[in-house]
Chains A and B, each alone.
Chain A
Amino acid sequence: MAARTKAAGDGSGLVEMSWDPITRIVGSLGIHTKIDFKQKRVAECYSTSSVFRGYSVFMRGKDPRDAHFITSRICGICGDNHATCSVYTQNMAYGVKPPHLGEWIINLGESAEYMFDHNIFQENLVGVDYCEKMVKETNPGVLELAERTEAPHAAEHGYRTIADIMRSLNPLEGEFYREALQVSRYTREMFCLMEGRHVHPSTLYPGGVGTVASVQLFTDYMSRLMRYVEFMKRVVPLHDDLFDFFYEALPGYEEVGRRRVLLGCWGALNDPEYCDFTYANMTNWGRRMFVTPGVIVDGKLVTNDLTEINLGIRILLGSSYYEDWQGQEQFVTQDPLGNPVDPRHPWNQHTIPAPQKRDFDDKYSWVMSPRWFDGKDHLALDTGGGPIARLWSTALSGLVDIGYVKATGHSVVINLPRTMTKPETTFEWKIPEWSNALERNRARTYFQAYAAAVALHCAEMGLEEVRAGRTQTWEKFEVPDESIGCGFTEAVRGVLSHHMVIRDGKIANYHPYPPTPWNASVRDSYGTPGPYEDAVQNTPIFEENSPENFKGIDIMRTVRSFDPCLPCGVHMYVGGGKTVKSLHMPTGLSGLGG
C-alpha cells in the first residue's frame, strides 16, 4: 500500500502531507507541507523539484548560434519564450538589429503564445479546480450556493448561474472546457504562422525571422485573432463572475495563496522603433516595451529600469543540490556601462550538480534560489504566474499608450474593437487589493485580452511594412570572438532572462532564468522561503473534507495560481497516525473512456 500516514515528529500536532506528482501543471514540482487541521491552516511548506537536465552544463563550448534552438527545449509549453529571449541575447552579443518587420512578427508569435498558453492553462488545468465536480467534492455547500446565484454577466457569457459556469468547466464533458481546447488549437495555428511550429519554433534566428512576410500571412493571423477577441468578450466577464463569487461564498478567501506584494516583471514585446538591442540603451528601449518592466514591493514601483533590474539579480543556494561556485572564475566583472557585476549574478554563475538524498531540513530540490537585491535585502520576488506582475507593473508605470491598450498609473485599459457578433468592448484591470490566488487567476484572463489587444497593434504595424514593400525580416551578422549578451522578456509565467558569455567564438557561459525558478525556489542561504513555500504557508484551509478525505484543494489552487512550469512532483503525506484506506472514485480524464 502506498499510503503513508504520519504525524509530524516534532510533537506539534501538525499533519504532514505531500503531493507528488502534482497534476495539471507543466513539469515537476513537489509540495510538502505540515498542516494544522485544528487551526485550518498550512503551517509549513517545502517546494521540491525532482528533475535535473543541466542545460548550462552541456551548452558550454557550443556555437552561440545554436543557443535559441537548444534553450527552447527547456520548456515544452513556453519554449518559444526561451528561443525569443535567446535571440534577444544573441542580438545583443552580435550587435545586430533585426528589421522592424522581423520584430513585429516575433511580437505576433509571442502574443499568440500568451493567448494559447493562458487559455489552455486557465480553462483546462486551473479551471478544473473551480469546476462543478471539484467543488462538489471539496465544498458541497459552495456548490449549493452557486446553484442559487445568478451570474451578473450572464448576458455577456450566456451562463445563467455560477453553477452553470462551474459545470461548463467539468473536464471533457463541460462545454466551455472543450471549447477552450479548440481555442488552444487555433491560437497555436496563429503562433505557427509566425514562428513555424509550436512549441519549439523553427523560423526564429538571431537577426530576425525566416517567416516569409506576405499579405496572406497577416490575413490568416488576423482572421483568427478576431475570433479570439470575440472569445475574450465572453471570457473576461465569465471569470470575473466566477472569481467574485468565491469571495462572496467563502468570506476570507482572499487569504488563500496570499503573500506580500513582491512582484517582478522583466518587460515584453519590444517596440522596433526604439529597441536596438544595445546594452547601453537598454534602459530606454526597455521602457518602450509593450509590457513595461518593473519590480514592485508592497504595491510601490521600485524600478522600471532594465539595467538596474539586470544588475540586481542574484542566484543564491542554500537548499539546492549544487556545490557553490564561490572562488571560481568570474566571467564578467563589469557590464558594458562599467557598472560592477556581482559574483552571484547569472553572468558569473557556475552550475556544479551535487546529487544527493532529499532532506527537508537541509537540501531538498534541484531548483536554486534566485533573488533580487535592492541594495539591502535579497527579495524573493514572484511573478504570480506572470499576468498579475505584468499588468501591475505596466499599470504603475503608465507608459504604454497604443490605443488598444492604455496604462493609467493605477490600471490598464484594454479596448477591443467590434467583432462579428459583439460591439466594441472596453475592459479595465485595476490594481487589486491583494496578491493572492484568485487575483493571479483573474489577471490571467485580463492578460489574455491584453495580449490580443497588443497583437492587433503589432499586426497593423507589420502589415503596414508589407504594404510599403519592406518585406525583409532578417539581417546578417557575425559572431564575435569575445562578447557578452543578456536578454529580457516575459515568458508566459513571468520573468525570463538569458545571460551569455562568448569566448573564442564559443559559449563560455550561458544561464537562462525562467519564472519558475523564482516562484518554485527554495529556502535560500538566509533562510528566506521561496514564493510557493511562502504563499502556501499562509494559506488557510476552507475545504469541508475531514483529514481522511482531504484533497488539499486550497493548497492546489494556491500552487496552480502561480502556473507552475517545471517537471516536478508534489508530495503529501496524510498524517494523524492512522492509515487512510478510503479512496475517492477517480474522475476526470482518467475514467472518461466512453
Chain B
Amino acid sequence: MTEATPDTVGAARTTGTPADETPTIHILWINAGLSCDGDSVALTAAMQPSIEEIVLGALPGLPKIAVHWPLIDFECGPVGGADTFIEWFFKGERGEIDPFVLVVEGSVPNEAIKPEGYWCGFGDNPETGQPITTSEWIDRLAPKALAVVAIGTCATYGGIHAMAGNPTGAMGVPDYLGWDWKSQAGIPIVCVPGCPIQPDNFAETLTYLLYQATGAAPMIPLDDKLRPTWLFGATVHEGCDRAGYYEEGEFAESYDSPKCLVKIGCWGPVVKCNVPKRGWMNGIGGCPNVGGICIACTMPGFPDKFMPFMDEPPGAKVSRTGSSVYGAVVRRLRTITARTVDKEPKWRRTGERITTGYRPPW
C-alpha cells in the first residue's frame, strides 16, 4: 500500500471515489452526548492497534479511513468558513460521504421532558442559531450510517449520567434507537461498554468493523446486549488472578490486602469484562487484580445496581461463606503439598556417588 500524504488523501476524499478504488470510510464521531470524553482519551492509549496504526493503515487489508474526531482533529475553522469541522456531519446527512460509521460517546438525554432549551448540543442549526441536540444528530445520521457504534457505558446503556435522580432522563443509544435497530447494512448497534472503554477493546472492535466493511470479516458477533462476544464473554472473576484466594476462602478485610476483594465490594464474579485478564494497557494495571474493587462499570445495571460500591455485594455472602469453609480445607491440604514441592529431590547434592538412578558404566 502506498502511503499517501494527508493532502492527497484529503483531495481524493472530498470529491468522492474513483471507481476502481475501495471507498474511503468516514468515521463521524459525536462526543457531545452526556459524556466526559474519557472514551476518546482512552482510545489514544490503545496499542493493539494504536490510532496512528489504524489511521495510517498499518494493518494489512484495512480500508482507507477519514476520522472526524473532535479530540485531535486538525480542522478547527469557524462555522461556515475555512476548515469547519462540523461541516462533515452535514455532509453525512446530505449523503455526500458514503459510507460512514457513526460513533456516539456519552448518553443521550431526553430532550422531550422540558419546555425549551437543550441538555446537550453539537454544532449549531444555521436556521435558528441554536445548538443541534445530540439526539437530533442521531435521528439525522443513524439511518444513513453503515454502522452505529456506542462507545463507553454511557452511550451503550446510560451509565453514570443515567443514575437514579438524574435531571436529564439520560439513556443509552439502544434505548433511544431501539434494541432491535439495524443499520441500512443490516448491522445492529455495536456496543463497547466500559467506563472508560479499555483502550484495546475499542481499537479492536473498530478494526473488526473496518475489516467487515471490506468484506474480509463476517458479521461482527454480538451478544444480546450488543457487546462483541470475544471481548465480553467471560466475567471479571474468571480472568482475575486473585480468584485463587477466593477458592481457598481467603478474603481481604482491608483494601491494601493482596487477597480477594469480594467481601469489601468487588462485583467481579457477576460482571462481564476482560480487564483483569487483559490488563488496562500494555498488560499493566486493572481493577481487582491490582487492588481496585470491580464496580461493574461495563454493565447495563451500572451504577445503581452496584451502589454503595464499597459494601459487599449481597449475593457474594452466601458463596463466600461456602468458600470459606471448603477453602480452609483445600488450603490446609495445599499447604502440605506445597511443603513437599518446595523441597528439591534428595539426589541433588555433592558427594562421590550419583544417586539420580543412573548407573555409571565405570
Contact = CB atoms under 8 A, between A and B. Distances in A.
Contacts of B350: none
Contacts of B295: 69, 202
Contacts of A77: 37-38, 41
A184 B295 CA distance: 26
A138 to B, nearest CB: 10
Contacts of A471: 256
A37 B162 CA distance: 45
Contacts of A337: none
A571 interface: yes
Interface in A48-68: 50-54, 57-58, 60-63, 65-66
Interface range on chain A: under 10, 10 to 19, 20 to 34, or 35 or more? 35 or more
B120 A52 contact: yes
Contacts of B80: 1-5, 572-574, 580
A354 B290 CA distance: 43
Interface range on chain B: under 10, 10 to 19, 20 to 34, or 35 or more? 35 or more
A355 B309 contact: no
A591 B72 contact: no
A172 B78 contact: no
A267 interface: no
B7 A587 contact: yes
Interface stretch (A243-251, A308-316, A378-386, A543-551): A543-551
Given A185-B45, A192-B284, A51 B38 contact: no
A51 B32 contact: yes
B284 A567 contact: no
B82 A545 contact: yes
A58 B38 contact: no
Given A28-B32, A551-B76, A189 B284 contact: yes
A571 B287 CA distance: 40
B14 interface: yes
Nearest to A33: B78
Contact of B167 (A54, A65, A185): A54
A87 to B, nearest CB: 12
Interface string A404-415: 000000000000
B285 to A, nearest CB: 3
A583 B84 contact: yes
Given A198-B281, A580-B80, A355 B74 contact: no
B81 A58 contact: no
B318 interface: no
A3 B290 CA distance: 52
Given A63-B307, A551-B82, A583-B87, A76 B41 contact: yes
Contacts of B45: 184-185, 188, 198
B70 interface: yes
Interface stretch (B48-56, B211-219, B329-337): B48-56
A472 interface: yes
Interface string B127-165: 001110000000000000000000000000001110111
A590 B73 contact: yes
B195 A73 contact: yes
B300 interface: no
B79 interface: yes
Nearest to B168: A54
A556 interface: yes
A24 B76 contact: yes
A355 B117 contact: yes
Interface stretch (B59-67, B178-186, B320-328): B59-67
Given A27-B36, A353-B167, A592-B55, A473 B256 contact: yes
Contacts of B24: 593
B178 to A, nearest CB: 24
Interface string A576-593: 000010111111111111
Contacts of B7: 585, 587, 591
Interface of B: 1-7, 9-11, 13-14, 24-25, 31-32, 34-42, 44-45, 47, 50-52, 55-58, 63-88, 90, 106, 114-124, 126, 129-131, 159-161, 163-168, 170, 195-196, 254-256, 258, 261, 275, 280-282, 284-288, 290-293, 295, 297, 303, 307-311
Given A4-B129, A73-B36, A355-B117, 4 more contacts: A53-B168, A197-B286, A199-B41, A587-B74
The 7 closest A-B pairs by CB, nearest first: A588-B74, A202-B292, A76-B38, A192-B285, A572-B78, A355-B117, A210-B291
13 contacts: A21-B32, A23-B72, A23-B73, A61-B165, A70-B160, A184-B44, A188-B45, A321-B117, A355-B118, A574-B78, A592-B55, A594-B2, A594-B9
